Amino acid sequence: MKEHKAKIGIVFLIVFIDLVGFGIVIPFLPLYAEDFGPSPVVFGLLMASFSIMQFVAAPVLGRLSDRYGRRPILLVSLAGSVVGYLLFAFAGSLAMLFASRIIDGFSGGNISTAQAVIADITDEKDRARGMGLIGAAFGLGFICGPGLAALLVGVARWLPGVAAATTSAIAFVLVFFVLPETNLDRSAVRSRPHPLSRENLTRVVGYPLVGACLAMIFLVIFAFSNFETTFAQLLRLKFDVGMSTIGWLFVYAGVLGAVVQGGLIGRLASRFGEARLIVGGAFIAAVAGAVLPFVDSIGRLMMILALLAVGHGLTAPSLSSLISKMVPAGETGGVMGVYQGISSLARIVGPFWAEWVYGVFGPSLPYLSAAAAYGLTIFFGLAAARTLATRVRSESV
């Protein structure tokens, strides 16, 4: 891995810079959309459009990068992100907002290409570490993006979108001038099935507990998407806060989640085990989700938001760790592909559901839906914990 350390660092920087742009847009998109008065169904489609296009694009861009190389696909997709963010910055209609999210969603499938770059330049021993760095770039981008947006939106409403476009332009320049092509042997392009193909699903759910883990993954991502999609609207409705304050509250939640996932989860998992962390984290998040829409002050809101961030931060990485342990080493890649596919589906269904129930039934319903999804996760987590305990007892006999 040492000889490729510079390339891995470049990929980390590219993903981080690109995700900063994504993080800039997320807090303000629903507020921009509210100005055009969409119906609940149209609002839900707008919020889900990015994930729909990313779900479609990721395997397509992956196959194209196998055939034509990683650099061309990264360059084209980053250029698309620049266009999408500029449309967001200067959107004068709902149609322009839709176009911005569709273009950026298709371009956002480039994460699979960045992961392919890491796979090209690492062996099996170092691959997990390399992929972990991409995950770290994700987390840092989601923290820094809303912070930068909070600083810029007070200057001009269009400035966060332009800043997001600038970040993707910088990433484009880095790929063009600094990142070498890593897919050097393109003579034989493999046909890769979609992660959620019947073949993959049938094989993966045949392993013990994997089906339960996949159900929990969907529920947890669905639940958090309900919060993430409507939080800015709830803040403006209940507390009449400005966009800058909304951006900083997203930063606050992101930092707390990063502290749990990056600094505490390993030690806690070693002590308590993943199944217990899933149950405990889902319980904390369920309580926080049920209470959050009814708090009456920013101070109490920050306390509940901290509980939600900690609860979700305990649950999500514990799930990915648990599912990776449930299959033979040679099947880990396929299982994690299904994991990502299920996560993508949840990011489509969650935002659509959240905006629909927000518009039809009121602002508390997305959070009560999230609490119910976390509650179902507790049920599956307890079942998984009992199965694991039974397995341990039978193996010790």
- 125-129: long-range contacts (C-beta < 8 A, 24 or more apart)? 126/1, 129/1
| CA 323 to chain centroid | 18
Contacts of 81 (CB under 8 A, 6+ apart): 18, 21, 103, 104, 107, 108, 110, 165, 168
Percentages helix, strand, coil for the chain (3-state, rounded to 5) are 85, 0, 15
Q: Is the pLDDT of residue 391 over 70?
A: no
CATH architecture of the domain with residue range 1-179: Up-down Bundle (1.20)
Domain regions of the chain by residue span? 1-179, 194-397
What pTM did the predictor assign?
0.86
CATH topology of domain 194-397: Growth Hormone; Chain: A; (1.20.1250)
Cα gap 34→168, rounded to integer Å: 26
* CA neighbor of 355 nearest in space, from 29, 91, 99: 29
Summarize the confidence of residues 126-138 as an average pLDDT.
Answer: 66
In our burial notation (b when 16+ CB lie closer than 10 A, e otherwise), range 321-354 reads: bbbbebbeeeebebbbbbbbbbbbbbbbbbbbbb
Cα gap 380→340, rounded to integer Å: 19
In this prediction, residue 2 has a pLDDT band, given cuts at 50, 70 and 90, of low
- Give 145-167 pLDDT, tens digit per residue: 999 999 999 899 999 999 999 98
- Give 304-350 pLDDT, tens digit per residue: 999 999 999 888 888 877 877 776 655 666 676 677 788 889 999 99
Summarize the confidence of residues 77-82 as an average pLDDT.
Answer: 91
Q: Is the pLDDT of residue 35 over 80?
A: yes
More confident residue, 310 or 114: 310
- Give 181-212 pLDDT, tens digit per residue: 887 766 555 555 666 666 666 666 666 677 88
| Percent above pLDDT 90 for the chain | 45
More confident residue, 218 or 193: 218
Domains 1-179 and 194-397 share a fold: yes
Are 217 and 342 in contact, with CB atoms under 8 Å apart? Answer: yes
